[in-house]
Each structure stands twice: as C-alpha cells, then as structure tokens.
Structure 1
Amino acid sequence: MTIVLEPVDDQLPIDFHQLELDARAGGHANMTRLSAEFAEAPSMFHRVIAAHVDGVLAGIGAITDEPVPSTQPAWRMRRLYVHRDFRRRRVARTIVADLLRAPAGEIEIVTVHAGSDDAARFWEAIGFDAVAGQGWSHQRRLRSA
C-alpha cells in the first residue's frame, strides 16, 4: 500500500464528498466544517493535505493559526479525518507528519483538540502531550528555528 500525499490549494479533491459522507455516517461533522471553511476562507489554512491510497481519497487534514489566544505563536492541526476503510494503515500519521513540517522554524507549538478518548490516545501515541487549562486538549512543542 502506497500513500500519496497531495497539497490542496484551490479546491477540495473531487472525491471529497465520499470522505464527507463517511464522516457523517460515523457521527463526525468535521468534514462538513472543512468544506464550509475552505469555501468561505481558504486563506485561513496554512496547508491542507489529502492522502490517496490506490487512487482513492483515504484522508485529509489541515493546519491553521491557533484560534484561541496564546502566550506564544501556535498553529492548530485540524479537520484530520481518515475514511473508516483506511484506518490503522498509517494514513493519519502520514498526514500529520507532513502537516508538522509546515510550521517548522515558524512557530514552537502545534495544538489539537481531541474530540474523543480514541482521538486523545492517537495524539498521545504520536508525541502530543495532554494539557489542561488551555483552549486545546493536546500540544506538541517543535524545536525552535
């Protein structure tokens, strides 16, 4: 299995609707939010990356400025979703690794808001620390430039 990453610049992938349907079927609204945000304000995203496996859109993720005021510049990893047929195949890890390269040298902290215990376990397994008293659930410190 080969994961092919493609930056999303002008429009969401043509097969994005299938990913959105899968997310909705699983009770998640984050793909619907991504679609609306991307249509309304694409410049809010520093990077959006789509992952394809065998030509099929397997997942997507994005990174933006941290929307909650912070004592230091931070970016938020958001709208990460992997189709249920492609989970546990390193798709999410591959997307996250790519997105973490975007802020390298620009900011020190990348945040996430885990929406479930499963998501929290995922973020912790890939090096994000749980935090309390912030507008996000987990963060990862990057090396300063």
Structure 2
Amino acid sequence: MTINIYVIRNRLPQEIASLESEARREGYRHITRLIQEWSAGETRFEYEGERLLGAYVGEALAGVGGMTLEPAAVEALRMRRFYVHPAMRGRGVGRSLALTLLDHARSFCSLVTVYAGNGGAAKFWESVGFQPCGRDGHTYVLEL
C-alpha cells in the first residue's frame, strides 16, 4: 500500500466531507471544526511553521493532520486536527502524517505539543515519541 502525503493549501479537498462524516459517526467533532475554521478564515495553517497535510491511498483521502503555532509556548508548534479513516488505521497513515509534520517542525521549533483526546490517541502519540505532560491544554510533548 502506497501512502502519498500532500500539503493542503488554498482549499480543503472535496474528500474531506467523507472524513468528516466518519469522524462524526465516531463522535469526533474536530474535523467539523477544521472545516468551519477553514471556511471562516480563522485557521488556514498559513503562519510560519504551520502546515496541513492530507494522506492519500490511491485516490482516497485516508487521513489529515495539521500543525499550528502553540499558543501556550513560545517557539513551539502543536499537532492538530488529526484523523485517519477507521478502515485505514493500523496501516501507517497516521504515522506517515505525524512523521512528515515532525520533520517539517524541526526547521521551526524544538518543542511540539498535542492533546490526545482518548486512550487510542495517547498510545499513538507515545509510539511516535511524545511524552506525557498534562499542562497548558496539551497532554503530550515531544522535544525535537
């Protein structure tokens, strides 16, 4: 299985609606917020160091993940709006997104934070190298 990672700029891909639908089915609202904030021009992942990625398997958008400035820490970035389609989990999609973003972050900061909303997410972020740290609105940090 080949995973292709693309930077999302200017507009969200049409396929984001499918990911939003799956996320909502699972009780997650962060992809809905991504779409709303993008549409309103509030969060476009356009400041220095920020980035939004899409992971494709074939023609299908299998996952998204982003990185924004961390409001609680100077010179830090925060992983945001991560979601992988349930059928694509355990196949390296999330890891590919995370590692691509972390590689990008090395040019901009020395600390990356993330909020893991559930136990599965916590295990994932730990597997990528993040360490528990429950303060300032995030649950994990990674020193680059």
TM-score (ref. length: structure 1): 0.91
The yes-or-no answer on 1:54 pairing with 2:58 is yes
Map residues 107-122 of structure 1 onto 2, 5 A cutoff: 107-122=109-124
Match of 1:82 among 74, 81, 84: 84
Aligned-residue offset at 1:111: 0.3
Aligned to 2:31: 31
The alignment partner of 1:13 has SS state of coil
In the alignment, is the contact (CA less than 8 A) between 2:4 and 2:57 conserved in 1? yes
Aligned to 1:16: 16
Task: Give distance in 2, aligned partners of 1:89 and 1:18.
Answer: 19
AA of the residue aligned to 2:22:
D
Task: Give distance in 2, aligned partners of 1:43 and 1:88.
Answer: 28
Change (3 A) 1:132 1:16: closer
Task: Give distance in 2, aligned partners of 1:103 and 1:126.
Answer: 14
Task: Give distance in 2, aligned partners of 1:4 and 1:12.
Answer: 16
Task: Give distance in 1, aligned partners of 2:10 and 2:90.
Answer: 29
Task: Give distance in 2, aligned partners of 1:3 and 1:120.
Answer: 23
AA of the residue aligned to 1:59:
G
Q: 1:105-143 deviations in whole A, cap 9, x for unaligned?
A: 32110000000111111101110000133321001001x
TM-score (ref. length: structure 2): 0.92
Stretches of structure 1 lacking an aligned partner (at least 5 in a row):
none
Q: 1:59-109 deviations in whole A, cap 9, x for unaligned?
A: 000000012x22x42100000000011110000000001111222132110
Further displaced range: 12-21 or 98-107:
98-107
Aligned to 2:127: 125
The alignment partner of 2:52 has SS state of strand
Further displaced range: 33-42 or 84-93:
33-42
The yes-or-no answer on 1:65 pairing with 2:69 is yes
Aligned to 1:41: 42
